[in-house]
């Protein structure tokens, strides 16, 4: 959730009231007391950072082209409310390693003077850098750098900090002092915006053409055989009795043991083993018995 940057009189009053309530019900075991309070806005405040196609392409090129850290400034403006546009990137003088980036202060000062006529330098609103293949959590150096810049901002200003890596993971903060609001990560969405170019609109149009195939499970499969859902029977059994055989009599029927009365009219369950009906299976069982029995 978005958070306040400065303690307003209202926030101070709220904190003092809560602290007084905490003191009233506290018992100290060692003569010490600590109090911690997180300030957040109840409203679901959100911000959006838009890139022009050129600015976004430059950032991707920097991320993918350097095996060391690399830092850059973002040129841009506030569009409206909590919406910001990054229109261009510029890379300033710096010394880097695989895991650090340090501004060359003397070279930086000269770089600013050499580009004093460049209007873009009057609209720098963002500092970003790469963490190459590492996570995007700010290091102690990153945090100190952010705090030093924040200390220089006046109450009518804003500034954006970004850390990206080659996986395009990012850690972003927007310090909007004019509205006393800090936006972080989940509070921020992104978009591409430019004259005649709207990537969000392109993606929405693409989604209308791309449909996900829905897989409907109608039964279970085991050993290559499909077993459908139960609809009055199993594997094709529909509750009917075994039909009479149209196969000519071989004379074996007279020799078969009599079928118990409760077995008569038994259902034809499935197709039997290897697609043979129960009648065929009874014939095979009868033949096997007479071919392999031993006379005593």
99: CATH: 3.40.140.10
Q: What are phi and psi of 207, to 5 degrees?
A: -60, -30
Give the residue, 49 or 249, on which the prediction is more confident: 49
The pLDDT > 70 percentage for the chain reads: 72
In a domain, 223, yes or no: no
Q: What is the pLDDT of residue 17?
A: 87
| 194 and 87 both lie in a single domain | yes
Q: Which of 159, 191, 209 marks a domain boundary?
A: 209
Q: Which of 160, 187, 209 is the last residue of a domain?
A: 209
pTM of the model as a whole: 0.64
Biggest alpha carbon distance in the chain?
118
Contact 121, 67 (CB under 8 A): no
- 122/91 Cα distance (integer angstroms): 15
Residue ranges of alpha helices (H) inside 136-198 are 140-152
Same domain, 245 and 138: no
Position 144 in a domain:
yes
Specify the length of the chain in residues: 296
Cα–Cα distance for residue pair 89/206, rounded to 1 Å: 29
**Whether residue 91 is found in the same domain as residue 165:** yes
* Domain ranges, residue 142: 9-17+36-209
pLDDT of residue 214: 77
Residue 226 in domain: no
Single out the residue in 156, 191, 209 at which a domain terminates. Answer: 209
Range from 41-45, 254-258, 284-288 that averages highest in pLDDT: 41-45
Examine the pLDDT at 39 and tell me if it is beyond 70.
yes
- Is 218 contained in some domain? no
Beta strands in the chain (DSSP E): 47-51, 71-80, 83-90, 94-96, 101-103, 124-130, 158-164, 170-176, 181-184, 188-194, 197-198, 219-222, 225-228
> 185 pLDDT band (50/70/90 cuts)?
very high
Average pLDDT over residues 219-239: 46
165 shares its domain with 42? yes
Angle at 169 between CA 176 and CA 202, to 5 degrees: 85
Say if residue 154 is in the same domain as residue 260.
Answer: no
The closest alpha carbon to 186, from 2, 43, 40, belongs to 2
The answer to the question of residue 281 being in a domain is yes
**What domain count does the chain have?**
2
């Amino acid at each position: 959730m978005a958070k306040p940057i400065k303690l307003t009189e209202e926030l101070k009053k709220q904190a003092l009231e809560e602290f007084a309530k905490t003191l009233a019900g506290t018992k100290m075991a060692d003569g010490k007391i600590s109090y911690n309070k997180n300030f957040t806005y109840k409203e679901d405040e959100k911000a959006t950072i838009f890139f022009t196609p050129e600015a976004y392409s430059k950032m991707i090129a920097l991320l993918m082209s350097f095996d060391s850290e690399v830092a850059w400034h973002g040129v841009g403006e506030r569009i409206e409310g909590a919406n910001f546009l990054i229109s261009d990137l510029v890379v300033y003088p710096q010394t880097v390693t695989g895991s650090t980036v340090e501004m060359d202060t003397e070279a930086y000062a000269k770089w600013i003077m050499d580009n004093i006529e460049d209007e873009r330098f009057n609209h720098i609103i963002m500092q970003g850098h790469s963490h190459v293949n590492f996570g995007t959590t700010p290091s102690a150096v990153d945090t100190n750098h952010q705090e030093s810049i924040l200390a220089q901002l006046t109450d009518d200003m804003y500034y954006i900090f970004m850390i990206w890596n080659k996986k395009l993971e990012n850690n972003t903060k927007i310090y909007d002092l004019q509205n006393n609001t800090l936006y972080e990560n989940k509070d921020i969405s992104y978009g591409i915006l430019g004259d005649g170019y709207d990537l969000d609109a392109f993606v929405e149009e693409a989604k209308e053409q791309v449909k996900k195939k829905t897989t409907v499970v109608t039964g279970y499969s085991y050993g290559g055989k499909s077993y459908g859902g139960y609809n009055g029977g199993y594997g094709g059994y529909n509750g009917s009795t075994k039909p009479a055989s149209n196969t000519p009599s071989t004379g074996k029927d007279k020799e078969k043991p009599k079928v118990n009365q409760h077995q008569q009219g038994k259902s034809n369950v499935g197709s039997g083993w290897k697609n043979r009906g129960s009648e065929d299976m009874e014939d095979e069982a009868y033949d096997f018995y007479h071919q392999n029995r031993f006379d005593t």
